[in-house]
Amino acid sequence: MIVRIMGEGQVKLADSHFAELNKLDDELLEEMESGDEPGFRRTFHALLDKVRELGTPLPDDALEPSELILPSPDATIAEVRDMLTDDGLIPG
């Protein structure tokens, strides 16, 4: 799956990594619902870091359609909330 982190670029991520990412996504949702800003910030950055770690960066000139778009690292809780689906940020 091709994943874009807004403001950074794209990475190719194997579907096998989504179970691990979903754990962080679930934690992020809980922190957002409880209004835990420090917890949200920590978990959100951990999620983005994990995507960067597990993904293979695509060249800047690659024109691949992104199947998943994640907010930029400086996104607020409100901005992230606007991007949520029923599954959170990560499908599944």
Give the whole-number percent of the chain exceeding pLDDT 90: 74
Query: What confidence score (pLDDT) does residue 64 get?
Result: 86
The C-alpha angle with vertex 70 and arms to 65 and 73, in degrees rounded to 5, equals 130
Q: pTM for this one?
A: 0.91
Query: What confidence score (pLDDT) does residue 23 get?
Result: 94
Q: Which long-range contacts (CB under 8 A, 24 or more apart) does 4-9 make?
A: 4/66, 4/68, 4/69, 4/70, 5/48, 5/51, 5/52, 5/70, 5/71, 5/72, 5/73, 6/69, 6/70, 6/71, 6/72, 6/75, 7/72, 7/73, 8/72, 8/73, 9/57, 9/58, 9/60
Q: What is the pLDDT of residues 21-59, one digit of tens each?
A: 999 999 999 999 999 999 999 999 999 999 999 999 999
